[in-house]
Structures are given as C-alpha cells and as structure tokens.
Amino acid sequence: MSYTVGESIRYIDDFLIYFGLALALFVAFIVVYTAITPYKELKLIREGNNAAAISLSGALIGFALPVASTVANAVNVVDMVIFAIVATVVQLIVFVIARLVMPDLTGSIEQGNSAKATFLAAISVSVGMLNAAALVY
C-alpha cells in the first residue's frame, strides 16, 4: 500500500469548515459574554487590569474546551452550533453562580482583585472541562 499526499489532505475542506466555524463561534462568545457581564473586560484589559484578563481568559478556555470536544464528536455543523450555544449558556450560568457565591465579584475584578478573578477563572475552566467531557457521545 503506497502513501499519497492526497490521502492526507482529503478532508481539508471539512477541517476548514469546522475550524472556521469554531473560530466564528469563539468570536461570537466573546461578543456575547463581554456584552452581558457588567464590566468592560476588554477596556479593563487594555488599561492593564490583570484581574479582568484572568477572569475573561478563564471564560474563554471554559468555552473553548466544550467546543473543541464538539468539533471532535459532532455529527454535523448544526450539532456543533447547538452545543456551542449550550457551552455559552453554561459559561453565563457559571458567571451568575460565581456572583451569587461572591456578591462583590464584579466590583472586585474592576478594582483589579486577582484572587477573585482567579476564583472565577478556575470555576469557568472546571465547568468547561466537565461540559467537554459530557459532550463525548
């Protein structure tokens, strides 16, 4: 049996579709998440607020993990989009629960409290990992 380059790139179109869609969903998540949170993460990050960077980074990883799992396991792109929406909702719920557990969370992040931002990031990543594992079907 001989090897050809064609065998390696046979599914490049599928790669481009799933990867491109995953990136588009990632950008959409950033837009939705930063619009819903009560502080302006990107502005705070531009100003050098490490707490805002930590908390947003956790949410991004917490979203990317289940989307990556969905890319690997989706039966089609519709399946992928549905579970990306689920991952978005899960991350928003995580944010709400973290605020209930720690009512001064958002103000603390705005003020640069890295400890509370790390707490939020850890919860976001942890739940994202569980979400990703649940998407192996």
Per-residue confidence at 119, pLDDT binned at 50, 70, 90? very high
Q: Is the pLDDT of residue 137 over 70?
A: no
SS3 content of the chain, % helix, strand, coil (to 5): 80, 0, 20
Residue 2 has pLDDT above 80, yes or no: no
**Mean pLDDT score, 110-123:** 97
Cα 13 from chain centroid?
A: 24
Domain range summary for the chain, segments of one domain joined by +: 5-134
In the chain, % of residues over pLDDT 90: 85
Q: Which of the two residues, 127 and 4, has the higher pLDDT score?
A: 127
60 has pLDDT over 70: yes
Q: For 12-34, how does the pLDDT look when each residue is reduced to its tens digit (9 = 90+)? A: 898 999 999 999 999 999 999 99
Length of the chain: 137
Q: What's this model's pTM, rounded to 2 decimal places? A: 0.89
Confidence bin at 136 (pLDDT 50/70/90): confident
Q: Which residues contact 111 (CB under 8 A, 6 or more apart)?
A: 51
Q: Give the pLDDT of residue 10.
A: 81
